[in-house]
Amino acid sequence: MTEVRIVAAGIHPFGRTPGLTGLQQGVFAVRQALATAGLDWRDIQFAYGGSDAAGNADTMVSELGLTGLQFINVANGCATGGSALFGAYSTIKSGEFDLGIAVGFDKHPRGAFDPKPAEWGLPDWYGETGLMLTTQFFAMKTRRYMAEHGITVETLGRVAEKAFANGVLTPHAWRREAVNLDAILNAPLVSDPFTKFMFCSPGEGAVALILASEKRARSLGLDGAKLRAAAVRSRPPGSFEVFSPALDIARGVSPSTLASRAAFEMAGVGPEDIDVAQLQDTESGAEIMHMAENGFCADGDQEAWIADGRTRIDGALPVNTDGGCLACGEPIGASGLRQVYENVVQLRGQAGARQVPGDPRLGYSHVYGAPGVSGVAIVER
């Protein structure tokens, strides 16, 4: 099978950019990636792109050029970016094309996401109880997990503290000011047990990744990170995910676990081989749960891992080295691709003050979206 490489990457800083539309931020990221690779838009054979609130991604051809390329719009909740990457990876892996792009952008209004029950196949009562407000759902899910596995509120705070500390070191992050643990724990409560510093915010930003077959990369004189695996999975029976109307007595694994297992098998590596990981952290409890769901530790071990600093930049397994969603915010279309961008930068040794020590070789990214879709990618230097 054809090997796939990420030969260039571009990013528009995350946060709030009043002067640009989401689509224009996407165009910025694409042009940056093209310039990095020394390519022209006319060289690109296909694209997969996603946006949740800023229009169809394919409309960017009006600014980039009307070349007639195959352009597929992707919409898969917060897993949109990871799903766009899977599409691009699979297209090259199959041999259909050998040079393409995965792009994601968004521009969300201020305030929490406002999904409607009917749009997700749910009855009105689900929204009337407040469960469509995802802050409340994830708070309850995390409270259950804390009770079952001995996770403390202080550990939730330490996850957020790490995120903001990493954001200080990250030029593309939105939140670039450190927040100490006491301030995090004593901030206004949003949904018990989460204070305002433990949730990410909808925002703006864009990422573009140019992918090529290994043969095409060599012919262009480009060297990039090898995309060893890309997998997307939906929820199985018994999993309890956002917008689930009930909790089954017989619990099933999560879609994150399914995607993780598939990606590790595809790449021929295991959790112990990963040098740096980006895990979905729409709130600090998510990072904790996803550490176990992706196979990096057992349920409950996160308490000791985080207290010992094992997930910090200089720890045994650095997690969310650019500050993750907590520091960068979450523009839905771009978020999953930001994770892969960060891993590519880390593997190239170009992360500056947030660079993971020890010459990292394997990077892992995991994104999770409603109503229970997860995407995992593994990249290798």
What DSSP assignment string belongs to 148-213? HHT--HHHHHHHHHHHHHHHHT-TT-S--S---HHHHHTSPEEETTEEGGGB--B-EEEEEEEEEE
Residue 15 has what pLDDT?
96
Residue 111 has what pLDDT?
78
The residue-averaged pLDDT of 248-259 equals: 91
The residue-averaged pLDDT of 352-377 equals: 95
Lowest mean pLDDT among 124-128, 274-278, 332-336, 364-368: 124-128
Q: At which residue do the structure tokens 């207290």 appear?
A: 307
Q: Is a pLDDT exceeding 90 seen at residue 2? A: no
Q: Is a pLDDT exceeding 90 seen at residue 126? A: no
Residue 371 has what pLDDT?
87
d(CA 281, CA 302): 14
Residue 26 has what pLDDT?
97
pLDDT band at 244 (very low <50, low <70, confident <90, very high): confident
What DSSP assignment string belongs to 239-278? ---TT-S---SS----HHHHHHHHHHHHHT--GGG-SEEE
Please write the tens of the pLDDT for every residue from 286-309.
Answer: 999 999 999 999 999 999 999 999
| Sign of the C-alpha dihedral computed for residues 305, 307, 308 and 313 taken in this order | positive
* Contact between residue 212 and residue 98 where contact means Cβ atoms under 8 Å apart: yes
Residue 109 has what pLDDT?
86
Q: At which residue do the structure tokens 């550990």 appear?
A: 155
- Average pLDDT of the chain is 95
Q: Is a pLDDT exceeding 80 seen at residue 114? A: no
The residue-averaged pLDDT of 101-106 equals: 97
Using N-to-C axis directions, what is the helix angle for 284-293 and 153-168, rounded to 10°? 100
Q: Which amino acid is at 179?
A: V
* Rounded percentage of the chain residues whose pLDDT exceeds 70: 100
Residue 245 has what pLDDT?
77
Residues whose CB falls within 8 Å of the CB of residue 62, separated by 6 or more in sequence, listed in order: none
* Rounded percentage of the chain residues whose pLDDT exceeds 90: 85
* Contact between residue 274 and residue 364 where contact means Cβ atoms under 8 Å apart: yes
Q: Is a pLDDT exceeding 90 seen at residue 380? A: yes
The residue-averaged pLDDT of 247-260 equals: 91
Residue 103 has what pLDDT?
98
Give the Å distances, CA to CA, from 313 to 63, 231, 269, 302, 304: 38, 26, 22, 16, 16
Please write the tens of the pLDDT for every residue from 149-203.
Answer: 999 999 999 999 999 999 999 999 999 999 999 999 999 999 999 999 999 999 9
Best CA proximity match to 235, nearest among 333, 364, 370: 370
Please write the tens of the pLDDT for every residue from 61-81.
Answer: 999 999 999 999 999 989 999
Residue 251 has what pLDDT?
84
Specify the higher pLDDT residue, 159 or 127: 159
Residue 121 has what pLDDT?
86
* Contact between residue 65 and residue 41 where contact means Cβ atoms under 8 Å apart: yes
Residue 21 has what pLDDT?
96
d(CA 142, CA 155): 12
Calculate the CA dihedral of residues 381, 341, 34, 108 and round it to 10 degrees: 170
Q: Is a pLDDT exceeding 90 seen at residue 31? A: yes
Secondary structure letter of residue 53 according to DSSP: S
Q: Is 214 exposed, middle or buried (0-12, 13-18, 19+ CB in 10 A)?
A: middle
Q: Is a pLDDT exceeding 80 seen at residue 6? A: yes
* Contact between residue 267 and residue 378 where contact means Cβ atoms under 8 Å apart: yes
* Contact between residue 256 and residue 366 where contact means Cβ atoms under 8 Å apart: yes
Please write the tens of the pLDDT for every residue from 132-145.
Answer: 878 888 999 999 99
Secondary structure letter of residue 355 according to DSSP: P
The residue-averaged pLDDT of 87-102 equals: 96
* Contact between residue 317 and residue 310 where contact means Cβ atoms under 8 Å apart: yes
Rg (the chain; Cα; Å): 19
